[in-house]
Copies of this chain bind each other. A is one copy, B any other.
Amino acid sequence: MALAERWLATRFNRPGHDIIDHYTYAIVSDGDLQEGVAAEAASLAGTLGLGKLILIYDDNQISIEGDTDIAFLEDVPRRFTAYGWQVTESIDGNDIDAVASAIDDARADTSRPSLVVCRTVIGYGSPNKAGTGGVHGAPLGDDEVALTREQLHWPYPESFTVPGEVREYLTKAVERGRGQQSDWDNTLSSYRENFPSEALRLQDALNGALAPGWSSGLSGLFDDGRAISTREASGKVMNAISDAVPNLIGGSADLAPSTLTILNSEGHIGPGNFDGRNLHFGVREHAMGAVANGIAVHGGAIPYASTFLIFSDYLRPALRLSALMEQRVIYVFTHDSIALGEDGPTHQPVEHLMSLRAMPGLVVIRPADATETAVAWQAALERTEGPTALALSRQNLPVLDRETLAPAHDASRGGYTLWESEGSDPQVIIIATGAEVHTALEAARTLDSEGIATRLVSMPSWELFDEQPKEYRDAVLPPSNRTRLSVEAGATNGWARYVGLDGASIGMSTFGASAPGGVLLEQFGFTAARVVEEARNLVNGG
């Protein structure tokens, strides 16, 4: 969120018109600061110098299993100093004046993020449980609540009460907020008058709206028909729409030269420099996902985050939050199968497509070629209600010939008949995704030449397909036809959803191996010959 603020301020503020100007506060616990994602994010914030980010550290030295000294003896202030943060001296978190004064100090230094270290007492006021793990996850209980009320001189007998003086005090906060809102509205009016076009752009950015015709740069982009990987196609798409979608910002966890996600005409955001649109996240996948969520929640920019598909595991908790919070975050996952080759099984995703498809609220798209990649990016940007994950190939793939095959736009329905034998109803339906569509297409044509009527369904996205009306889905996959074969270089767990108990699935049942991609595809059975054989067996009731 602090990054979004700095980026928008750099982009939209004008001398005397600080239309974007706020601090970002977070209250963090001992537990939060033990998590790796917090370490990654803090290191990145320190590197970038996000001076308007302020963490208030609720240091009560208690965790669920007991005092923090059982597992957390580190010197947190020293660690944050190492990250390049301003760290205040430890203060008493129950001393309101001390906290206010420390926050003032934190605000004064806008070149470094700040950690305000507050020593606190968990369960403050409870005579028997304050300062113990017993109050971390469990309620105090009636007796201890009564004793706590006594110790805190709380005279109100009801369970929930807002005393008059509290209400009065908080009313002042409401008034203060109204005043600040009105000040900002004035700033905005003046900004609108002086910088009308910037104001319009800012409004669009904050609304998350896409400009009319934003995708026109995509038409004909791949007409040269040159075989390219879908990661390369994705990079071309991003650059083709970059000007028309000026609030698209993002980057990679130190893999941009491989994920091809750089906006070439834009600069890189770096320490103290927020002028570009490309981010270097460092080798910090989890923080990357969390930062993307922060940008999306803040508003004003559409974030994308990129790494190899295998490393989606590293940011999975953040991706889940994108989905749960219904945020438009675009995940660009490349190197999407064993076909990535020599890096071997530590880098080869197998179960990832299926495990991402299991997540509610996430749309997964694995395009078959450059033209489907353009459709995928379009769907991702237009999907304002949640995140989208693109799974893209490392290896080059032919561009599907849209003269003889179904139009690329059909891919927006998630699954569509790409090609089928002429004349009779299909005897077998092959369903494939991504790179395997090409293998399946070759197989389908072979089967056709053998007299087996075949339909090939390209299914880049289960979620988009499942959203279609039943009539459409039944037209693509007629319920009466149970001779179905799925082909995808990943775990088959789940494909029964489309192929049923009478169909078959070609996929991965083990981890991959280290060898050139082509060799692996052959060895693990992703060949047209194997697809033909399995399809033939199905047709023959095998």
Residues of chain B with a CB closer than 8 A to A497's CB: 493-494, 496
Closest to A361 in B: B511
Which segment of A164-172, A193-201, A276-284, A369-377 sits at the interface? A276-284
A346→B325 CA distance, assembly (Å): 10
The residues in A between 469 and 524 inclusive whose CB is less than 8 angstroms from any CB of B are: 479, 482, 491, 493-494, 496-498, 500-502, 508-511
Q: Does A36 contact B (CB under 8 A)?
A: yes
- Identical chains in the assembly: 2
With both chains docked as a complex, state the minimum distance between the C-beta of A533 and any C-beta of chain B, in angstroms.
21
CB 8 Å contact bits of A62-91 with B (1 = contact, 0 = none)? 011110111111111011011110000000
Residues of chain B with a CB closer than 8 A to A280's CB: 65-66, 70-71
A74→B83 CA distance, assembly (Å): 4
Pairwise interchain contact B360-A258, C-beta atoms closer than 8 A: no
Closest to A41 in B: B36
Pairwise interchain contact B31-A283, C-beta atoms closer than 8 A: yes
With both chains docked as a complex, state the minimum distance between the C-beta of A541 and any C-beta of chain B, in angstroms.
13
Residues of chain B with a CB closer than 8 A to A72's CB: 43, 47, 282
Residues of chain B with a CB closer than 8 A to A501's CB: 479, 482, 500-501
Which segment of A151-159, A225-233, A313-321, A412-420 sits at the interface? A313-321
Pairwise interchain contact B283-A34, C-beta atoms closer than 8 A: yes
A323→B355 CA distance, assembly (Å): 16
Residues of chain B with a CB closer than 8 A to A30's CB: 283
A358→B316 CA distance, assembly (Å): 15
A39→B68 CA distance, assembly (Å): 17
B47, B71, B350, B494: the one within 8 Å of A44 (CB): B71
Q: Does A445 contact B (CB under 8 A)?
A: no
Closest to A262 in B: B65
CB 8 Å contact bits of A36-71 with B (1 = contact, 0 = none)? 111110011011000000000000000111101111
Residues of chain B with a CB closer than 8 A to A508's CB: 360
A384→B65 CA distance, assembly (Å): 30
Pairwise interchain contact A36-B37, C-beta atoms closer than 8 A: yes
Which segment of A235-243, A248-256, A292-300 sits at the interface? A248-256
- Greatest chain B CB density within 10 A among A79, A356, A358 is at A358
Q: Does A270 contact B (CB under 8 A)?
A: yes
Pairwise interchain contact B63-A282, C-beta atoms closer than 8 A: yes
Residues of chain B with a CB closer than 8 A to A361's CB: 510-511
Closest to A44 in B: B71
Q: Does A149 contact B (CB under 8 A)?
A: no
Pairwise interchain contact B283-A35, C-beta atoms closer than 8 A: yes
Q: Does A105 contact B (CB under 8 A)?
A: no
Closest to A73 in B: B47
Known A313-B317, A317-B313, A497-B494; judge A71-B254 contact (CB<8 A): yes
The residues in A between 256 and 278 inclusive whose CB is less than 8 angstroms from any CB of B are: 256-258, 268, 270-271
CB 8 Å contact bits of A336-374 with B (1 = contact, 0 = none)? 000000000110001100111111110000000000000
Pairwise interchain contact B511-A360, C-beta atoms closer than 8 A: yes
A496→B505 CA distance, assembly (Å): 13
Q: Does A287 contact B (CB under 8 A)?
A: yes
B38, B39, B70, B351: the one within 8 Å of A358 (CB): B351
B39, B252, B356, B493: the one within 8 Å of A40 (CB): B39
Pairwise interchain contact A258-B34, C-beta atoms closer than 8 A: no
Pairwise interchain contact B36-A287, C-beta atoms closer than 8 A: yes
Q: Does A163 contact B (CB under 8 A)?
A: no
A64→B258 CA distance, assembly (Å): 9
Q: Does A286 contact B (CB under 8 A)?
A: yes
Pairwise interchain contact B39-A36, C-beta atoms closer than 8 A: yes
Q: Does A211 contact B (CB under 8 A)?
A: no
Besides A32-B283, A354-B354, 11 more A-B contacts (Cβ < 8 Å) are A34-B284, A65-B256, A73-B271, A79-B79, A79-B83, A137-B258, A323-B511, A351-B358, A361-B511, A479-B501, A482-B501
Give 22 pairs: A residue, B residue, CB < 8 Å, sorted on A: A34-B282, A34-B284, A36-B37, A36-B40, A46-B73, A64-B255, A64-B257, A65-B256, A70-B268, A70-B282, A74-B83, A75-B81, A75-B82, A75-B83, A78-B78, A316-B316, A324-B345, A354-B493, A358-B491, A358-B493, A360-B491, A479-B501
